[in-house]
Amino acid sequence: MSYKNTVFQRQNKEFKVNFSSDEISSDTSLVLLEKIERKHNIIRDISSHIPDYRNPFFVVHSYEKILKQRVFLLMQGYEDANDASYLKNDPVLQTILDGDIVSQPTISRFENHLDKHTIFNILYAWIDRYVASLKGREKVIIDIDATDDPTYGKQQLSMFNGYYGQFMYNELFFHDGETGQIILPVLRPGNSHSNKWYVSILKRIVLKIREKHPTVKIIIRADSGFSNAPFYKLADDYNLFYAVGLSTNEILKRRVKKAENAVKFLFVQHKKKHQHFISFKYKAGTWHKQQQCYSKIESTGKGINIRHFVSNMNEQEAREIYFGFYVKRGEASENRIKEVKNMCFSDRLSNHNFWANFTRLLISSIAYEMFLILKGMIKKTKFTKAYKWQIDNIRLYLLKVGGTIKKTVKRIFFQFSKSFVHKKLFEQLVFQ
């Protein structure tokens, strides 16, 4: 029995390893990502707003190519620019990029190239792209939420946030509550309050929407961190509808005390869990007028849970506003932020320069938007089990797929395994 290249034995069989197979890539599905980009031109459109001051005689990689490689590799799960050095000989990536792979130093120079002016131009273009997608819509739900991004180095504007108890950046997202699209991603200094800058940014978004779609109904949904006087004034000035959380205070505690005692009595005396809603007019000291406020008082079996919120959707009852609309922000906004942060790696803002980290946030957001298109394509197929896949599932089941590439004079063949579990779904997507 020969022991050359033998890893181990089982009964009378040898398990051998060698490196004689054809070139295989673990990212053969990049061909699907390239098709999506060619149809929707997200990367091309964003890169067109990046000025290129390099000497054209020495330029090897265009900014569009650099951005495409960075986005595609993020989607494949390669979260660091350093990963390019391990993929320089990948045959599929080389073919998709039509040439050599962009090196890590070139990627880093690109990320540090974008200044404040360029990033603002990209943000305005981002809003314009979203507004153009609203054709035929009668209403738009704008979900607003923020998330913490802990920092561990000496990044510019990484500051200590007392609420989170850590040095961090503060990421702000405006999402479409129906489609999941990122309306706008914003990076803020770490010590920012949740509502820092958001009213002025929201005003610009509303103006852009109203300019192209003057009759569309705009509804704002956010938690208590975004309840402030400038927002309610903006809502009145631009006829916005909203359901916004409200932090408790002594006045609100007194308002709900009677209802709270009644709910406690039902549970203590009759062991009955109960939800009760009350509504009332309330005006904080800085607000320009009274607002319609609601409180949910609930016995959970482990105590009393009280939630306050403000809404001008007066045609609906409190319970309907809360359960039929407000709490849906968990799936529409919070879970989408988890995807862009944890699955598209917007938490990897480790450059020193603040605007370079803002660039990374934009790159992660582009990857998220590409995944969102892919989700839409999946929902056009008959594979219903895949409809609820999150980004991690899509990456694992559809994108991290091994295969080989074969080239002839006129054709390039991407050859997948016959045992590819989701080959029928992939086939429908790639030929959709």
SS3 assignment, position 231: helix
- pLDDT tens column, 266-297: 877 767 777 889 999 999 999 999 999 999 99
Q: What is the pTM of this model?
A: 0.94
* Pair 125, 222 in one domain: yes
Task: Give the pLDDT score at 2.
Answer: 58
Report the pLDDT averaged over residues 212-234. 96
* Pair 212, 343 in one domain: yes
Determine, yes or no, domain membership for 425.
yes
Determine, yes or no, domain membership for 390.
yes
| CATH for 153 | 3.30.420
- In sequence order, what are the residues at sequence separation of 6 or more whose Cβ sits closer than 8 angstroms to the Cβ of residue 220? 141, 142, 144, 202, 231, 235, 240, 241, 242, 243, 244
Determine, yes or no, domain membership for 172.
yes
Determine, yes or no, domain membership for 16.
no
Q: Which residue, among 185, 183, 39, 65, has the nearest Cα to 73 in the 3D structure?
A: 65
* Pair 335, 388 in one domain: no
Rounded CA-CA distance 423/263 in Å is: 55
Task: Give the pLDDT score at 18.
Answer: 83
- pLDDT tens column, 72-115: 999 999 999 999 999 999 999 999 999 899 999 999 999 999 99
Which of 353, 368, 397 delimits the end of a domain? 353
Rounded CA-CA distance 157/192 in Å is: 10
Task: Decide if 325 contacts 310 (C-beta within 8 A).
Answer: no
Token reading at 134: 């609203």
Determine, yes or no, domain membership for 101.
yes
* Pair 181, 61 in one domain: no
Rounded CA-CA distance 43/380 in Å is: 23
Number of domains in the chain: 3
pLDDT confidence tier of residue 4, bands split at 50, 70 and 90: confident
* Pair 360, 399 in one domain: yes
Which of 312, 337, 353 delimits the end of a domain? 353
* Pair 333, 184 in one domain: yes
Determine, yes or no, domain membership for 201.
yes
Using alpha carbons only, how large is the chain's radius of gyration in Å? 26
The Cα angle at residue 348 between residues 344 and 352, in degrees rounded to 5:
145
* Pair 206, 304 in one domain: no
107 membership: H or E segment, kind and range: helix 104-113
* Pair 201, 219 in one domain: yes
Task: Give the pLDDT score at 3.
Answer: 60
Determine, yes or no, domain membership for 263.
yes
* Pair 33, 133 in one domain: no
Determine, yes or no, domain membership for 6.
no
For residues 314, 317, 319 and 324, what is the CA-based torsion angle, rounded to 10 degrees? -70
* Pair 281, 218 in one domain: no
* Pair 228, 133 in one domain: yes
* Pair 128, 195 in one domain: yes
Find the domain containing 172 and state its range.
116-244+327-353
